[in-house]
């Protein structure tokens, strides 16, 4: 799914949990989604069905009839979603610049040595 195809309506934190289950394995029935998220989140089947319905309405998930039930499959790729959300965060909080984000994380001591090494590796790759 290309960036321009991303849903215009934002995906909530609860909807994101459902998307993670679908990204992990799909297609899934509503019951299978509930098996993946309900216990951990304290949700019931009606909650999952509501979230799936919202995601279908937003164009992030499609349904496929399977007898008397529906199978749910993500239309939105995880990488596209993460990229779009990352860009929105940087735009909204850091004026579209990534450097202030990294500075903030460094000042807040939110970056581990492994994180810093990974960032350095990525920067080296970008410079090639």
What are 63-112's pLDDT values in tens digits?
999 999 999 999 999 998 888 888 888 888 888 888 888 888 888 888 88
What are the b/e assignments for 57-81, b being 16+ CB within 10 Å?
A: ebebbebeeeeeebbbebebeeeeb
Distance from CA of residue 27 to its chain's centroid? 17
> Strand, coil or helix: what is 90?
helix
pTM: 0.74
- Alpha-carbon gap, residue 70 to 51, rounded angstroms: 14
């Amino acid at each position: 799914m290309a960036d321009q195809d991303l849903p215009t309506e934002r995906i909530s934190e609860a909807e994101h949990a459902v998307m993670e289950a679908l990204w992990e394995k799909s297609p899934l029935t509503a019951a299978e989604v509930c098996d993946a998220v309900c216990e951990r989140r304290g949700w019931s089947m009606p909650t999952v069905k509501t979230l799936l319905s919202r995601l279908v309405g937003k164009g992030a998930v499609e349904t496929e009839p399977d007898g008397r039930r529906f199978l749910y499959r993500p239309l939105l790729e995880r990488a596209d979603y993460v990229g779009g959300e990352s860009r929105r965060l940087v735009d909204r909080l850091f004026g579209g610049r990534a450097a202030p984000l990294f500075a903030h994380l460094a000042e807040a001591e939110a970056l581990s040595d492994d994180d810093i090494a990974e960032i350095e590796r990525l920067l080296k790759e970008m410079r090639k």
